[in-house]
């Protein structure tokens, strides 16, 4: 390494270190920018979830929902598209049920996986990656088209 390269490298390191202190050492204002403080219920929970393999999933609404099928939890990365399709079917059908019935009870929001499993096994399990990916997109689109209605129903019932 030449002397010029060393000098440029050192100058760059000093400049970046100086910038870091000026840019990151600023203190946050003591008072919120808005005149109204947020209600405690409006503050999102930013607790980092336990991501260890044996930690049970917890849900804010419908905490007693049925667990995902075992095979879904043990899919390889290569086969993960199958699980994505199954979850998309499950979620879209739950949204359809909520909108059709106007009921956001846990039996509609987090039903048994049986119907989604039956639909997946009967209509999609034997399809290749491309066909399953296309079906996933269709179910995601269906869910998204029902999202506003579902959210309105569930918010009224305190289950969103």
How many structural domains does the chain have? 1
Two tokens at 121?
A: 């096994």
> Secondary structure of the chain: what % helix, strand, coil (to 5)?
60, 0, 40
pLDDT at position 151: 97
Cβ proximity of 84 and 91 under 8 Å: no
> 129 lies in a domain?
yes
Q: Which candidate, 136, 102, 131, places its Cα nearest to that of 116? A: 136
- Within a domain: residue 4? no
Confidence of residue 20 (pLDDT cuts 50, 70, 90): very low
* Single pTM value for the model: 0.65
Q: How confident is the model at residue 22 (pLDDT cuts 50, 70, 90)?
A: very low
pLDDT for residue 29 is more than 50: no
Q: Mean pLDDT in the chain?
A: 81
- The closest of 135, 147, 72, 138 to 104, measured between CA atoms, is 147
Residue 27 lies in a domain: no
Domain extent at residue 139:
63-160
pLDDT at 56: 64
pLDDT at 10 over 80: no
Helix, coil or strand: residue 11: helix
In a domain, 136, yes or no: yes
Mean pLDDT over residues 103-111, rounded? 96
In a domain, 54, yes or no: no
Place 3 in a pLDDT band, splitting at 50, 70 and 90: low
Most confident of 22-26, 27-31, 56-60, 65-69: 65-69
In a domain, 51, yes or no: no
Cα 101 to Cα 22, 32, 83, 95: the distances in Å are: 57, 42, 27, 10
* Residue 38: inside a domain: no
Is 10 part of any domain? no
How much of the chain, in percent, has pLDDT values that exceed 90? 57
Give the residue-averaged pLDDT of 4-31.
48
Output 44 or 88, whichever has higher pLDDT.
Answer: 88
Mean pLDDT of 78-91: 97
- Tell which residue, 141, 93, 136, 140, has the closest CA to residue 114: 93
């Amino acid at each position: 390494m030449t002397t010029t390269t060393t000098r440029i490298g050192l100058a760059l390191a000093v400049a970046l270190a100086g910038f870091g202190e000026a840019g990151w050492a600023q203190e946050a204002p003591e008072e919120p920018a808005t005149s109204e403080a947020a209600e405690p219920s409006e503050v999102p929970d930013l607790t980092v979830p336990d991501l260890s393999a044996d930690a049970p999933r917890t849900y804010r609404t419908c905490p007693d929902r049925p667990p995902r099928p075992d095979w879904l939890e043990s899919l390889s990365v290569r086969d993960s598209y199958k699980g994505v399709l199954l979850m998309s079917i499950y979620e879209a059908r739950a949204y359809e049920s909520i909108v059709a019935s106007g009921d956001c009870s846990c039996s509609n929001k987090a039903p048994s996986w049986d119907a989604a499993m039956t639909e997946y096994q009967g209509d999609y399990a034997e399809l290749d990656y491309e066909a399953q990916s296309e079906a996933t997109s269709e179910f995601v689109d269906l869910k998204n088209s029902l999202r506003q209605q579902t959210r309105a129903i569930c918010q009224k019932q305190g289950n969103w």
